[in-house]
Structures are given as C-alpha cells and as structure tokens.
Amino acid sequence: SARQVERDAERLARSGALERDDSQPPASAAASTMYLGQDGTGVPMRPEALRGRVGKQADGSAKTREMKLCTVWTAQDRDADGRPTRDPGSVSYTAAIESAETQPTA
C-alpha cells in the first residue's frame, strides 16, 4: 500500500540506508564500458513533508515527492539477443528524495 511505502521510506531514511555507500571496491582494471540507469517516480508523502510544495492536484497541492534511483554497472559480455549482461558484483545503486535546486552544482 502507499502507506507501507511511506513507512518503509521513512525507516530507511532514519537508518541512513539511503545515504550509505555499499558499493563494491574498485576493480583492478577499469571496465571499457559502464552503463547508467536512472528513473524517478512519485512517492506518497505525509502532509507535513509536502508543505510549501507545488503539486499536480487541481488546487496546486502535492501528494507525492519525486524519488530518483540511479544504477551504475559494467558489462563485458552480451546475451543471445546482444544485450549487455551485468558483471557480477559491479552494480551500484543510489537513491534520493530531494530537489535539484538544493544541491550546489559548482
């Protein structure tokens, strides 16, 4: 349910799991090709987390905030259809719920 997703996201945020770096140590040789995947979706939030945010509702209010997920991996081999297959232990994930405006770019 939407409420369960909200509780899980809050629990992860409190535990620091969304900010922890669990990536693998660098490989001894750099991969010739790295792949990047990114997606975003609206995550239902409590009203106090949405105060002051413009949303898509008819009255301009928001019910969700956007969560971004990014994956990075290497793939030296391809499957029978020619698609890259992830190298074991090469994938790293990161996720964030924040506004792009809050991050310094320089």
The amino acid at 7: R
The answer to whether position 106 is within a domain reads no
The boundaries of the domain holding residue 15 are: 2-99
For β-strands 64-74 and 92-96, DSSP reports them as: antiparallel
Write out pLDDT tens, residues 22-32.
Answer: 666 665 566 67
User: How many domains does the chain contain in total?
Assistant: 1
* pLDDT value for 102: 57
Q: Could you give the CA distance from residue 95 to residue 77 in angstroms, rounded to a whole number?
A: 27
Give yes or no for residue 17 having a pLDDT over 60.
no
38 part of a folded domain: yes
Domain-located, residue 104: no
**Would the pTM of this model clear 0.75, i.e. be above it?**
no
Residue 105 lies in a domain: no
Flag whether pLDDT at 106 surpasses 60: no
C-alpha 43/C-alpha 92 separation (Å) is: 22
19-75 pLDDT, tens digit each: 656 666 665 566 678 899 998 888 999 999 898 888 888 999 999 988 888 999 898
Q: What is residue 63's DSSP assignment?
A: S
* Domain annotation covers residue 16: yes
